[in-house]
């Protein structure tokens, strides 16, 4: 079983428990009380490079990264450093995240918040919006063509902006055909978990320039950001480097280029 299959199997098991405890209709009912979604696209389309800063406690590739006792405190630091959006890893088993983290972050900052998870069902999208998410991640490698299209449409109907994540040429073609407005190229090979820094440069030319391209994973410095911007990225998504930095606000500021 691949790492992705293993993660998704765990996600499905946890999802079945939540669905049994709280029917979809009840989660939908909570949408009536949630803040309207924040649109990340004007900031992401503006000239310059944007940083999407991630709340990430641990990962399959690196193990424990940071305790993060209060994700709201970290998110406020990210926002003060100029993050365009905050990504919250809500997967529990392998990343140590939760929807409670997302709620806390959304309440603490004014920037849009991404639910970064392994989304395979409508239930997770409704949950995401009900918890305040403004964006949701859809990983092409985890979904069939029909699932991807249906979840993309449903996310849009909920008012969520969708970050469609790709790892290779075939997935990029699927994302482009889908009409994805925001395309994330993840440099982490999902079979080996190794980072291949040349992935963005290889796949970005396959994505039309009217889409916003995001470079994801393995980004540690302003020079990494400049490399990807030079290859067509409007934004970078950064986890490990920021959660391990003693000065997350300064680290985000430096990555945006404003700290220079």
Ligand X SMILES: O=C(O)c1ccccc1NCC(=O)[C@H](O)[C@H](O)COP(=O)(O)O
CB under 6 A: which stretch of 97-105, 149-157, 183-191, 225-233 binds ligand X?
Answer: 183-191
Residue 171 binds ligand X, judged by CB under 6 A: no
What is the spatial distance between Cα 193 and Cα 244, in angstroms, rounded to a whole number? 19
Give one word for 159, left, alpha or beta, with left for phi > 0 and alpha for psi -120 to 50.
left
What is the spatial distance between Cα 210 and Cα 234, in angstroms, rounded to a whole number? 11
Which is closer to ligand X, CB of 186 or CB of 249?
A: 186
Residue 222 binds ligand X, judged by CB under 6 A: no
Residue 201 binds ligand X, judged by CB under 6 A: no
Nearest approach, Cβ of residue 177 and ligand X (Å): 22
Q: Total residues contacting ligand X (rule CB under 6 A)?
A: 19
Residue 237 binds ligand X, judged by CB under 6 A: yes
Residue 240 binds ligand X, judged by CB under 6 A: yes
Residue nearest to ligand X as judged by C-beta position: 239
Q: With the C-alpha atoms ordered 38, 42, 45, 46, is the resulting torsion angle positive or negative?
A: negative
Q: CB 36: neighbour CB atoms within 10 A?
A: 7
Residue 211 binds ligand X, judged by CB under 6 A: no
Which residues does the annotation mark as catalytic?
54, 56, 116, 165, 186, 216-217
Q: Which of 50, 90, 124, 186 binds ligand X (CB under 6 A)?
A: 186
The DSSP call for residue 244 is T
Which is closer to ligand X, CB of 27 or CB of 89?
A: 89
Nearest approach, Cβ of residue 42 and ligand X (Å): 23
Q: Which residues contact 51 (CB under 8 A, 6 or more apart)?
A: 81, 82, 83, 84, 225, 235, 236, 238, 252, 255, 256
Minimal CA–CA distance to 59: which of 113, 96, 105, 5? 96
What is the spatial distance between Cα 27 and Cα 64, in angstroms, rounded to a whole number? 31
Nearest approach, Cβ of residue 52 and ligand X (Å): 9
Residue 10 binds ligand X, judged by CB under 6 A: no
Q: Which of 117, 171, 216, 245 binds ligand X (CB under 6 A)?
A: 216
What is the spatial distance between Cα 55 and Cα 66, in angstroms, rounded to a whole number? 9
Interface of this chain with ligand X, residues 80 to 109, rule: CB under 6 A:
none
Q: CB 14: neighbour CB atoms within 10 A?
A: 12
Q: Which of 8, 51, 56, 185 binds ligand X (CB under 6 A)?
A: 56
Our CA angle for 18, 56, 118, nearest 5°, is 40
Q: Which of 10, 37, 60, 257 binds ligand X (CB under 6 A)?
A: 60
Site residues, ligand X (CB under 6 A): 3, 54, 56, 59-61, 186, 188, 190, 193, 216-219, 237-241
């Amino acid at each position: 079983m691949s790492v992705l299959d293993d993660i998704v199997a765990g996600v499905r098991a946890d999802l079945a428990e939540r669905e049994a405890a709280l029917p979809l209709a009840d989660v939908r009912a909570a949408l009536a009380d949630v803040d309207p979604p924040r649109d990340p696209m004007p900031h992401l389309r503006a000239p310059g490079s944007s940083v999407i800063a991630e709340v990430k406690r641990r990962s399959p590739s690196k193990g424990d990264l940071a305790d993060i006792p209060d994700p709201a405190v970290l998110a406020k630091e990210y926002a003060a450093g100029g993050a365009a959006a905050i990504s919250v890893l809500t997967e529990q088993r392998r990343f140590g995240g939760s929807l409670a983290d997302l709620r806390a972050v959304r309440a603490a900052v004014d920037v849009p918040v991404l639910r970064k998870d392994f989304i395979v069902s409508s239930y997770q999208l409704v949950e995401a919006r009900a918890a305040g998410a403004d964006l949701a991640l859809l990983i092409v490698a985890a979904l069939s063509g029909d699932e991807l299209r249906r979840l993309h449409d449903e996310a849009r109907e909920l008012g969520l902006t969708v970050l469609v994540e790709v790892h290779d040429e075939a997935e990029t073609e699927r994302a482009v055909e889908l009409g994805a407005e925001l395309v994330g190229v993840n440099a982490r090979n999902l079979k080996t978990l190794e980072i291949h820094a040349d992935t963005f440069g290889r796949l970005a030319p396959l994505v039309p320039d009217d889409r916003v391209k995001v470079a994801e994973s393995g980004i540690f410095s302003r020079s990494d950001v400049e490399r990807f911007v030079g290859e067509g990225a409007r934004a970078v998504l950064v986890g490990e480097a920021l959660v391990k930095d003693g000065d997350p606000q300064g680290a985000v500021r430096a990555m945006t280029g404003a700290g220079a």
